[in-house]
Amino acid sequence: MLEWLKTDVCAMNLALVEEGLVTQTWGNASAIDRDTGRIVIKPSGVPYNDMLPEHMVITDLNGAVVEGDLKPSVDLPAHLVLYASFPALGAVVHTHSHFATCFAQARRAVPCLGTTHADYFHGEVPITDALTAEEVADGYENSIGKVIVRRFAGLDPLAFPGVLCAGHAPFAWGRGLMQAVENAVVLEELARMAFHTLMINPAAAPLESYLLDKHFLRKHGQSAYYGQKG
């Protein structure tokens, strides 16, 4: 079932390692086939060197395994909440990439300090609230998804294609697999640039709103004109 998607999701997980976003097995990527409502996700704890498309696990939107011999990633419930709450998403990536994780641990949003950032995020990279003791005790991974959704009240997840979970690490996503991986790579680089910018000038101001809008909106939305017409 969904052999093509298993191949792509396996490649997507390996791409995160190649991009330097994943150390050990600290990361997971999934995709959804919206026609069937099936999610394909990396198995839990399998070394990347040995990972093959047939190891991918297929579940339904409730997390029930539909196909696969291995257990799905423990973070599956967070991915499921994001797919259910954000219908535009086709793929979700979770990593503990260094600089984005540092911002998450410092409990700071990544401010939009330049146009590189504005090409991808229509403002700062949001940070969630911390989870409460009850949320951790009662369905921890599901709570991670819910605290992200709560942070996105009034925010378009395609205009902010990633988030920092306070005290934890980033999630990124996209309409498709390639876009989700790209956004995870970009999020890490934006965090790295912001870190160094703030070292050079701790008082660096956020990008002017008119420049933020110009850069974001020329690439995204109704009036986008960047790139070639598809």
Cβ 74 to Zn ion, closest distance in Å?
9
Nearer to Zn ion, 22 or 31 (CB): 22
Active-site residue 119, yes or no?
A: yes
Cβ 16 to Zn ion, closest distance in Å?
12
Cβ 227 to Zn ion, closest distance in Å?
33
Contact positions with Zn ion (CB under 5 A) in 159-198: 169
Active-site residue 83, yes or no?
A: no
Contact positions with Zn ion (CB under 5 A) in 88-147: none
Cβ 93 to Zn ion, closest distance in Å?
11
Edge-to-edge order in the sheet of strand 91-95: 65-67, 57-59, 38-41, 27-33, 91-95, 170-174, 162-164
Binding footprint of Zn ion, residue count (CB under 5 A) = 1
Contact positions with Zn ion (CB under 5 A) in 7-26: none
Q: How far apart are the C-alpha atoms of 46 and 164, rounded to whole Å? A: 25
By beta carbon distance, the residue nearest Zn ion is 169
Catalytic residue, chosen from 60, 129, 156, 226, is 226
Nearer to Zn ion, 118 or 169 (CB): 169
Q: What is the DSSP string of 73-137?
A: PTTHHHHHHHHHH-TT-SEEEEE--HHHHHHHHHT--B---SHHHHTT-SSSBPBPPPPPHHHHH
Nearer to Zn ion, 1 or 74 (CB): 74
Nearer to Zn ion, 15 or 113 (CB): 15
Q: How far apart are the C-alpha atoms of 58 and 66, rounded to whole Å? A: 5
Q: How far apart are the C-alpha atoms of 131 and 73, rounded to whole Å? A: 20
Q: How many CB atoms lie within 10 A of CB 71?
A: 13
Q: How far apart are the C-alpha atoms of 161 and 171, rounded to whole Å? A: 9
Catalytic residue, chosen from 33, 48, 119, 213, is 119
Q: What are the residue numbers of the active site?
A: 119, 226
The site for Zn ion (CB under 5 A) is made up of 169
